[in-house]
C-alpha cells in the first residue's frame, strides 16, 4: 500500500469547509481536480466521480462511500475493474484549529497495478490534490469576507 497525502490550513470554520466540500453541484465552478461529483454522501452509497489530474487523461469512476462524520470526514473506496487490481480509498478530513481548520486530502492506494502507476500518482495526482486544496481554501476564505 502507498499513501498520498496533502494538507492545507484554511482560515474558515470546519462547517464552512464541509459545506463547500459536500456541495457536489458547485464542483464544476471551483474544483480543478474533481470536475464533477454526483451522489449522496451516505455510507454505502455509490458516487460518480470525474477527476482530471494534471497532464493525464480524465477518468470517471464509481466509488462507494465508506465513512461520513459531519463537518470532520468523509471517504470513499473505488476499484479499477474489480478489487485487488487497483484500489483507492480517498479520504477528506477537516481538523479544527485556532485559526480555522486543517484540510487533509489523502488516498490509500493498493493493488497489482500500483507499482506501475505510483510515479504518475505521486506527481500528477498529488498536484491535482494540491490544486483542489488551494481552490477549496480560496473558496472558503472568500466566502468569509
Kindly list the strands in the beta sheet with 87-97, ordered across the sheet, starting from the edge strand earlier in the chain.
2-10, 100-110, 87-97, 73-79, 64-69
- Are 10 and 141 contacting, i.e. CB atoms less than 8 angstroms apart? yes
What pLDDT is stored for residue 8 in this prediction? 98
Identify the bridge partners of residue 49 per DSSP, sorted by sequence position: 37, 61
pLDDT tens for 100-138 read 999 999 999 999 999 999 999 999 999 999 999 999 999
Identify the bridge partners of residue 97 per DSSP, sorted by sequence position: 100
pTM beyond 0.75: yes
- What structural domains does the chain harbor? 2-144 (3.30.530.20)
Residue 122 per-residue DSSP state: I
143 pLDDT more than 80: no
pLDDT tens for 5-64 read 999 999 999 999 999 999 999 999 999 999 999 999 999 999 999 999 998 888 999 999
The grid coordinates of residue 57 equal 487523461
145 pLDDT more than 90: no
Amino acid at each position: 500500500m502507498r499513501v498520498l497525502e496533502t494538507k492545507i490550513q484554511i482560515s474558515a470554520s470546519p462547517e464552512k469547509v464541509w459545506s463547500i466540500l459536500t456541495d457536489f453541484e458547485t464542483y464544476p465552478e471551483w474544483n480543478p481536480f474533481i470536475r464533477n461529483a454526483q451522489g449522496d454522501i451516505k455510507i454505502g452509497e455509490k458516487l460518480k466521480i470525474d477527476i482530471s489530474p494534471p497532464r493525464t487523461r480524465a477518468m470517471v469512476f464509481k466509488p462507494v462511500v465508506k465513512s461520513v462524520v459531519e463537518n470532520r470526514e468523509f471517504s470513499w473506496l473505488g476499484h479499477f475493474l474489480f478489487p485487488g487490481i487497483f484500489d483507492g480509498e480517498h479520504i477528506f478530513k477537516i481538523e479544527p484549529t485556532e485559526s480555522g481548520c486543517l484540510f487533509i486530502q489523502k488516498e490509500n492506494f493498493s493493488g497489482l497495478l500500483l507499482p506501475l502507476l505510483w510515479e504518475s500518482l505521486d506527481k500528477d495526482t498529488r498536484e491535482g490534490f494540491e490544486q483542489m486544496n488551494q481552490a477549496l481554501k480560496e473558496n472558503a476564505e472568500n466566502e468569509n469576507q
